[in-house]
């Protein structure tokens, strides 16, 4: 059992634990926005841990460049997905408004509507 094996094992366990936490989170949380919060864990941190584990096992330049590409694509596309899903959930009333502490977007929409009405 070498040092690199321990590092790889710990990184894989971190990724697996985050995947399990995301699964439990999307089952137990009450609405789309809170599930969105749970869902983003394996998509970024879990993937980063697994990619570093691959790089520790196979340390070549080809693997490094491909890993950087995978992580870049994931970091570019996942915030877009989360933004679109959250926006769509708000606009179609899939939000539990009684759980919100402060509704900034609702206040902004209201102000905008009042400005339109005055014009």
Partner 1 sequence: MTFLTFVSIIAGVMFGIGALAAVYRIIRGPSILDRALATDVLLAIAICALGAEMAINTHTDTLVVMLILAMFAVVGSISIARFMAKQDAS
Asked if 32 contacts 83 with a C-beta cutoff of 8 angstroms, the reply is no
66 binds partner 1 (CB under 8 A): yes
69 binds partner 1 (CB under 8 A): yes
34 binds partner 1 (CB under 8 A): no
* Cβ proximity to partner 1, 76 vs 115, nearer residue: 76
CB of 82 to partner 1, least distance (A): 9
Spatial neighbors of 21 by CB under 8 A, at least 6 apart, are 38, 41
54 binds partner 1 (CB under 8 A): yes
Q: DSSP assignment of 64-113, as one string?
A: HHHHHHHHHHHHHHHHHHHHHHHHHHHHTT-S-GGG-S--HHHHHHHHHH
CA distance 107 to 34: 20
* Cβ proximity to partner 1, 6 vs 100, nearer residue: 6
Asked if 82 contacts 36 with a C-beta cutoff of 8 angstroms, the reply is yes
Residues that bind partner 1 (CB under 8 A): 1, 5-6, 8-9, 11-13, 15-24, 26-27, 32, 35-36, 39, 42-43, 46-47, 50-51, 53-54, 56-58, 62-63, 66-67, 69-70, 73-74, 77-78, 80-81, 84-85, 87-89, 91-92, 94
């Amino acid at each position: 059992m070498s040092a690199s094996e321990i590092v790889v094992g710990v990184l894989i366990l971190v990724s697996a634990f985050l995947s399990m936490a995301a699964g439990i989170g999307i089952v137990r949380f009450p609405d789309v926005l809170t599930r969105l919060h749970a869902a983003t864990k394996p998509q970024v941190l879990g993937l980063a841990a697994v990619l570093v584990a691959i790089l520790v096992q196979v340390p070549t330049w080809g693997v490094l460049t491909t890993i950087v590409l995978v992580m870049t694509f994931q970091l570019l596309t996942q915030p877009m997905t989360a933004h679109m899903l959250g926006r769509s959930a708000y606009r179609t009333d899939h939000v539990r408004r009684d759980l919100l502490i402060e509704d900034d977007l609702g206040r902004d929409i209201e102000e905008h509507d009042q400005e339109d009405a005055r014009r």
